[in-house]
Structure 1
Amino acid sequence: MNQTASTIFLEEVSYFLEVYLDPFNKRIRVDDYRGKTKLLIEKVEELVLVHKAEKLIVKVRREDYFTFLEKGLQPEAVVDGYFLGSDAHFFSKFYTPERKKNDHWIIEDGMVHSIYQLDTTDQKPFPPKEYELRKADQSCAGDLAALYQQVFQIYPTPLHDPEYIKKTIKDGTIYYAFFYSGKIVSAASGEVNYFYKNAELTDCATLTEHRKYGLMKIILQELERELKRKGIYCAYSIARSLSFGMNAVLFQLGYSYRGRFMNNCFIYDKLENMNMWVKNLANC
């Protein structure tokens, strides 16, 4: 099967579907839909069979919650205000026994509990003056790709490819990065859905030797400011459930835990669970 991810649009008399085919992560995600819910679920399950997907994810509107439950899908996470202020419930279904098994769940429950005990007193980190925060443009694509190659052995999207990064910037994704001696040492992006007015803060990476200065926190705050300037107040981020540091950063920035995706994607060095964190930027 082709390993390149793609978005397809299916329009019939009774329904419309926007589907993200993700062969690398062996999953299919429904990003948008309208029309006859039961019919479109049947169509999506056909796609699962054709593409041999192991996991299906659907961003479900509140009014369709019980319809998807009845069809054998289960809620894994929620994003408050995702659809122009209305919540999105992320439902999933698994198609192989292996994809539904996980040894880390209890450990990750304990980690979320311990993160909620952390001090959230506003400590403004000040990195040394050698660190310069800038918005990254297409000319930075090579440096960004090099950073992601160093930090992530495996990543769910092709961020190791500068051409892919250039395309995401062209399509409206915002990148901010810290430069040290002319080299990018920390970066993150805001993937914006301009139609539904939400953004995923993602692609967070800092080189190990530069992690003591709280660079990621500063980058995410800068991204939040940019989103607010664009009138986007629904921000969410999906962090590796085994990464205490990244989950702690989001909690200390005022994000709330909203669920966990089991065996969601290949990242870092294996198939991992991912935690959902959500923040209403209008409140800050």
Structure 2
Amino acid sequence: MIEVNRRDFSALCIQDSFNKRLRIEDYRGNISSMIYYIKRELNKHQLEKVIIKSRYEQVQSWLQHGYRLEATIPSYFNGSTAYLMTFYESQERQVHNHYAKENNLLQKVQLLPLKCPETLLSPYKLRKAIKSDAKQLVTLYKTVFTIYPSPLHDLVYVQSMLEDGTPFFIVEYEEKIVSAAAAEINTLYNNAELTDCATLPSHRSLGLMKHLMVEIERELKKKYVYCVYTIARALSFGVNAAFHQLGYAYSGRLINNCLISTALENMNVWSKDLSTLTSES
């Protein structure tokens, strides 16, 4: 995260060279000056896409400068909605690959009934990950993802996540990690992104990810984090179905958002308000 402070604006930015994008996580001040800064950064670092988390009051200003709204995250800013405004420096980057196919998949997903996971069957075991799990987690992510937007193939990186207290949960089968997921908490705005979801192919269709999500939600509620969101591969029926059936609401799609496996992929945005859950949930 880079903190940018200028005379008439300030911003928190992530320069993501791997995915050739610039993410503006927060900002305040003069939008025209920010746009000049963004344009310069795009050219300087050969980036192709900008994603800005905007408040409602500035949406019209971004639209007037050629940005477009791709998704929203309700309650992101301590109860206020975040509007994900995007701009493309590259014509090719904004082409909608598989958009109709993704819409058809989404419609099928949204027809599914809401459904809580059933009891986790033996010999599967769910628990919170610890530092000694890092090596197995790296193996899991290398097996599931040839390429991934964050460095989950790096043992030191995964160890640091576990040391920092990132809510990370795993499912084991015969003492081998077969499924995992985590949550990145934003302590300033009290929200969390569910991320790093992976299940070995031989253990899919068993609802393991649903069990992980429910456990992470419980952990987040203990920390008084109520806004939870995630981005899911738009062509993955299983992942999108899992979030829909757990009560997450679809709120948009980020085009050619990040490299996963072998290519840039469109990502669906899902969110949920944990404050509406009962204390027993």
Q: TM-score range by the shorter chain?
A: over 0.9
The aligned residue for residue 221 of structure 2 is 228
Superposition deviation, residue 123 in structure 1: 4.6
- Distance (Å, rounded) in 1 between the aligned partners of 2:132 and 2:67: 43
- Are 1:194 and 2:151 matched, yes or no? no
2:97 is aligned with 1:98: no
Q: How does 1:1-284 map to 2 (within 5 A)?
A: 7-120=1-114, 122-284=115-277
Q: Name the % identity.
A: 43
Question: Shift of residue 173 of structure 1?
Answer: 2.1
CA distance in 2 between partners of 1:83 and 1:214 (Å): 31
Equivalent-residue separation in structure 2 for 1:171 and 1:19 (angstroms): 21
Count of aligned positions: 277
Ranges in structure 2 where 5+ consecutive residues have no aligned partner? none
- AA aligned to 1:88 is A
Task: Check the 8 A contact 1:172/1:191 in 2, yes or no.
Answer: no
Give ranges in structure 1 of 5+ residues lacking alignment.
1-6
Q: Give SS of 2:18's match.
A: helix
Cα distance in structure 2, aligned partners of 1:271 and 1:242: 12
SS at match of 2:205: helix
Partner of 1:3: none
**Residues 107, 57 of structure 1: alpha-carbon distance in 2 compared, 3 angstrom cutoff:** same
Q: 1:68 to 1:123 in 2, by over 3 A?
A: closer
- Distance, in Å, in 1 between the alignment partners of 2:163 and 2:4 is 25
For the residues of structure 1 that align with 2:262 and 2:136, how far apart are their CA atoms? 22
CA RMSD of aligned residues (A): 1.2
- Residue identity in the other structure for 1:198: N
SS at match of 1:212: coil
TM-score normalized by structure 1? 0.95
1:160 positional shift? 0.8
Deviation string 1:104-137 (CA, Å, 9 cap, x unpaired) is: 00111111111111122x3532332211111112
Q: Deviations along 1:195-246, whole A, 9 cap, x unmatched?
A: 1100000111111111132111000000000000000000001000000110
How far apart in 1 are the matches of 2:11 and 2:48?
20
The aligned amino acid for 1:98 is E
Aligned-pair CA distance for 1:80: 0.2
**More displaced 10-residue stretch of structure 1: 171-180 or 16-25:** 171-180
More displaced stretch, 174-183 vs 160-169: 160-169
Instruction: Return the alpha-carbon distance in structure 2 between the equivalents of residues 123 and 280 of structure 1.
Output: 16
Kept in 1, the 8 Å contact 2:234–2:267? The answer is: yes
Moved over 6 A (4+): none
In structure 2, the residue corresponding to 1:24 is in which secondary structure?
A: coil
Matched residue SS, 1:213: coil
Deviation at 1:46, TM superposition (A): 1.2
Aligned AA (1:220):
M
Query: How much has 1:167 moved relative to structure 2?
Result: 2.2
* Equivalent pair of 1:151/1:205 in contact (CA under 8 Å): yes
| CA distance in 1 between partners of 2:71 and 2:264 (Å) | 18
State the distance in 1 between where 2:125 and 2:266 align. Answer: 33
Aligned partners of 2:139, 2:183: CA distance in 1, in Å?
A: 19
Q: With structure 2 as the length reference, what TM-score do the two structures score? A: 0.96
SS at match of 2:7: coil
Aligned equivalents of 1:263 and 1:123: distance in 2? 31
Give a deviation string over 1:16-65, Cα, whole Å, max 9, x none.
11110111101110011111222122212211111110111111111101
Q: Which amino acid aligns with 1:146?
A: T
